[in-house]
Amino acid sequence: MTTVNGCNIPDDLYYLVDKHVWARPEGDAVVVGLTDVAQNLAKGIISVTTKRAGKSLAKGKSIGTVESSKWVGPVPAPVSGEIVEVNDALTSDPGLLNRDPYGLGWIAKLRADDWSADSADLVTGSAGVDAYRAFLDAQGISCQEQ
């Protein structure tokens, strides 16, 4: 894991940097969540509402909605596919997104229609870390100050 401006950015994930969404292929599914940057900007998450399992989504369409005392917004799907599982634990404990955004705070799992094609514009590894560094610096964002 790399730390950029106080924000944790794992280099093994795929990022949609400007939307603060990460994706992790796991078997035939893609796990999706919000980044440490997103949870720091949002502050205390008070509600997470997801679409239902079985719903097919186009890339960029909302998997669900996250609400904090500062912000309400959609979580866009980084790839097209069918939701195969949602993290029901977030219903009773939305703060999991703040405490463990890359682990227990995942939002949904998708069965990607075409991971190879859809992931082409996601960034990962050192390129992902560098892209996040450039974004955070350009926006003046630091997780330490949030």
CB 94 within 8 Å of CB 75: no
pLDDT, tens digit, 9 for 90 and up, residues 120-133: 999 999 999 999 89
Sign of CA dihedral 136, 76, 83, 81: negative
Residue found under tokens 């969404």: 21
pLDDT, tens digit, 9 for 90 and up, residues 6-29: 999 999 999 999 999 999 999 989
In angstroms, the CA 142 to CA 146 distance is 7
Residue found under tokens 């794992």: 10
* Domain at 2-138, CATH from 3.30.420.10, 3.40.50.300, 2.40.50.100, 2.30.40.10: 2.40.50.100
Predicted local distance difference test score (pLDDT) of residue 9:
95
In angstroms, the CA 146 to CA 144 distance is 6
Q: How do the domains of the chain map onto residue ranges?
A: 2-138
Name the pTM for this structure: 0.94
Q: In 3D, which of 11, 100, 102, 116 has the Cα closest to residue 59?
A: 116
Predicted local distance difference test score (pLDDT) of residue 104:
97
Rg (CA), the chain: 14
pLDDT, tens digit, 9 for 90 and up, residues 76-96: 999 999 999 999 999 999 999
In angstroms, the CA 54 to CA 145 distance is 39
